[in-house]
Structure 1
Amino acid sequence: MSFDNNTHRITAIDWLRGIVMMLMALDHASWFFNEQRIFADSVLLYEPGVHFAADQFFTRWITHICAPTFIFLAGASIAVSNFQRRRQGMSGAVIDRELLMRGAFIALLDIVLFSLVGGKPVLQVLYAIGISMMLMVYLQRLGTEAVFWLAILIIAGGESLLMLLWQPGGDVPLWLALTFAPDFGATYTVLYPALPWLGMMMLGWVFGQWLLTRPSGATAPHRLLLTCGWLALTLFVIVRGLDGYGNLFMHLEGNTLVHWLHVSKYPPSLAYTLLELGLMAIVLSLLMRLESFNKTINRNNPVLIFGQTALFFYLAHFVILRIMEIFFERGSLEQTYVITLLTLVILYPVCRAYRTLKWRYPQSLLRFL
């Protein structure tokens, strides 16, 4: 595991972030151009008994890892960034202010920019990330152990509270939509209520703290991740197999792989969180092993560049997909994959140039992207 000399980042984390950004581009290209796209990841969206085409289902399913991974890694990056800034002599008050400002900026992108484009307030993943980052300013003061157990309580016990307050299809007050329950109303849409995703960011922060403070002789990070990943997947099998608590009304309707993997993302069920964070931990473990074998890191690798410019990538890829609508109509899944590849090819030099500019002016407003 190594730190990039220019950005003080862990390379394996940026690789993983780059991978999920590419998968996210596939999901959004499917949203724009795939006539048969599946969007049934919630009891609010799914009609029991519907049969899914395997290619369409797995195209959607492989992108499920994106949001949990990005939010978990954002938590880890907060811990690493704060450590680096303290080492550079920055005061705690300035570090907290920077994190508050960045979180507010990210949340406002959803609340203002994407809502204007959508014609109504639409709160998606940037809202959840931004609000969670702002809350982390205060939560991290509780200490690593307290944050860990609070994260476990939110992830494992949040469904208990939600089921007391919410019934699918019923009215959702604004405060509940912003915190726990999604709402697909006519006046506003909340896809990512903040608190379930906050738990994932808290876990990421705990992992980042452990990376920085683990004593010599402690378990290697890749081994810890591998162990935690398999544990999470084992718990997923148990929770999904019992088909009760932890599934958020998305019950098993058969014993096929599609039935087992069709879990609730909106809001994230315990089964969904265990599955996606488990897979993420295993992939990150493998990337850390790969990093340890690489004597030199190719700084211009597309995956690394996308991972180091993730928020800029997120904004820019929507612009490119909108432009693509001039040349392509909605059509087949094969066309969706081609458009995704074209989008990534176009984004590579743009993101590379942006990264160069951002590194050249590290204290400019570009640091928020």
Structure 2
Amino acid sequence: MPFDKNAQRIAAIDWLRGIVMILMALDHASWFFNSQRIFADSVLLYEPGAQFAADQFFTRWITHICAPTFIFLAGTSIAISNFQRQQQGMSTAAIDRELLLRGAFIALLDIALFSFIGGKPVLQVLYAIGISMMLLAHLQRLGAGTVFWLAILIIAGGELLLMAWWQPGGETPFWLAITFAPVFGEQYSVLYPALPWLGLMMLGWVFGERLIAQQSAAWKPERLLMTCGWFALTLFVVIRGLDGYGNLFMHLEGNTLVHWLHVSKYPPSLAYTLLELGLMAILLSLLMRLESWKKTIHPNGPVLVFGQTALFFYLAHFAVLTALKPLFERGSLEQTYGITLLVLIILYPICRAYRNLKWRHPQSWLRFL
């Protein structure tokens, strides 16, 4: 699928982002309403020898792709948006200022809004996204090649720093918590330390630059994604099988599929990152092929609408889940899937109306959402 430099959006990216939003809604509906929900994706949360029901495990596992995909695609969208703004005559300084402002706004949503609701400081995915955007505003000046290798260094070498400075379950300095190591404490929690996720956004930005440049017809984006996806999955199998570096203390305890897929998300291990990026790349490649085959794309398809209003969806789905909480007791997994469907039905017209409003007022504060 060639990149159209005059197009405002790439449907495949919006489709994938929409799929991620749906899976995220399932995970958070499970958090609100699933009495048997599994949350053991870190050495800080997992008790060795624990047994997981397959349906509960895979309901949690399929949502692992959400954060890496959303953050990677955020980087891709930044590259494309910057290019389009340059084409419109916007200065580099103005483009950087927009990115810094949006990053600060998104990070503050976690620091202010969600921390206020949670009753203590809680730094989650919006913190990681916002800080990464602000850093990327400066890092992108280094050029695609340098940013790529810095991203690889962060993703592949982060565990070396943790092994030197971090002992799971021990005291974690605040500076390390906000950069590399998670904390689940009574005074504050950091689920998404910024720097591992910055590496993913940097990779996404490099891919966005590659989409714009289209330097080699022999390596179309779909083919590049498919090749990189299978390469990442192969590396995952090697690293998980060796069961040493790259697993962040989440070692294999058996040879079942559940054991192989039970990897560390908090913080993201190399095994986790390779697995999720590999699956994401293959899926995005297939969606790009689908986009090139389709003669027309329905502009109001639910997946597309959710993908085009992702940050608004993120905020709104929490409001809907909270509103539904008095109506349902915590219960079965089947109920969780039903509530997820209800949430999506409620959110579709709201997200569609918001999208139309945002597009009618492109320079309003709504651009930050």
> Is TM-score (shorter-chain normalized) higher than 0.5?
yes
Match of 1:267 in 2: 267
Q: How far apart, CA to CA, are the structure 2 residues paired with 1:77 and 1:165? A: 34
CA gap 1:3/1:364 in 2 versus in 1, 3 angstroms: farther
Q: CA offset at residue 7 of structure 1?
A: 7.5
Question: Does residue 293 of structure 2 align to residue 293 of structure 1?
Answer: yes
Once the two structures are TM-superposed, the CA of residue 368 in structure 1 deviates from its matched residue by 0.4
Determine the structure 1 residue equivalent to 2:125: 125
1:272 CA displacement: 0.1
Alpha-carbon displacement from aligned partner over 1:36-76 (angstroms, at most 9, x marks no partner): 00000000000000000000000000000000000000000
Residue aligning to 1:101: 101
Whole-angstrom distance in 2 between the partners of 1:7 and 1:317: 29
> CA 1:2–1:318 in 2, change beyond 3 Å: closer, same or farther?
farther
Inter-partner Cα distance in structure 1 for 2:325 and 2:219: 50
Which residue of structure 1 aligns with residue 282 of structure 2? 282
Residue 367 of structure 1 is matched in structure 2 by 367
Deviation at 1:297, TM superposition (A): 1.0
* Partner Cα separation in structure 2 for residue 238 and residue 6 of structure 1: 42
Distance 1:28 1:5, change over 3 A: farther
Query: Whole-Å Cα distance in 1 between the matches of residues 117 and 232 of structure 2?
Result: 38
Moved more, 221-230 or 6-15: 6-15
Q: How does 1:29-108 map to 2 (within 5 A)?
A: 29-108=29-108
Q: In structure 2, what is the Cα distance between the partners aligned to 1:364 and 1:286? A: 35
Kindly state the Cα deviation for residue 216 of structure 1 after the two structures are TM-superposed: 4.9
Amino acid of the residue matched to residue 207 of structure 2?
Answer: F
Moved more, 233-242 or 218-227: 218-227
Alignment CA distance shift 1:279-1:340 (3 Å)? same
Letter in 2 for 1:63: T
* Residue pair 1:35, 1:331 contacting (<8 A) in 2 also: yes
Query: Shift of residue 8 of structure 1?
Result: 1.0
Distance in 1 of aligned mates of 2:53 and 2:255: 16
Distance 1:164 1:255 in 2: 29
Normalising by structure 1, report the TM-score: 0.98
In 1, Cα distance between the equivalents of 2:217 and 2:358?
37
- Are 2:5 and 2:212, in contact at CA under 8 Å, matched by a contact in 1? no
Structure 1 match to 2:157: 157
Q: In 2, distance between residues paired with 1:331 and 1:47?
A: 23
CA distance in 1, matches of 2:217, 2:155: 30
- State the partner residue of 1:215: 215
Aligned partners of 2:96, 2:121: CA distance in 1, in Å?
Answer: 28
Whole-angstrom CA distance in 1 between matches of 2:192 and 2:343: 25
Using the size of structure 2 for normalisation, the TM-score is 0.98
Contact map agreement 1:4 1:11 (CA 8 A) in 2: no
In the superposition, relative to structure 1, how do residues 315 and 124 fare at CA in structure 2: closer, same or farther (>3 Å)? same
TM-superposed CA distance for 1:116, in Å, is 0.2
Letter in 1 for 2:257: L
**Cα offset, 1:220, TM superposition:** 1.1
Indicate if the aligned counterparts of 1:3 and 1:11 stay in contact, CA closer than 8 A. no
Question: What CA distance in whole angstroms lies between the structure 2 residues aligned with 1:346 and 1:226?
Answer: 35
Give aligned-pair identity as a percent: 80
Map of 2:257 onto structure 1: 257
Shift of 1:5: 10
Q: Give the letter for the 2:316 counterpart.
A: A
Instruction: Please say if 1:139 is aligned against 2:168.
Output: no
CA deviation after TM superposition for structure 1 residue 10, in Å: 1.0
Change (3 A) 1:358 1:250: same
Partner SS, residue 192 of structure 1: coil
Structure 2 SS opposite 1:186? coil
The residue type paired with residue 19 of structure 1 is I
Q: Which runs of 5+ in 2 are unaligned?
A: none
In the other structure, the counterpart of 1:224 is 224
Runs of 4 or more, structure 1, over 4 Å off, are: 2-7
Partner of 2:306: 306
SS at match of 2:288: helix
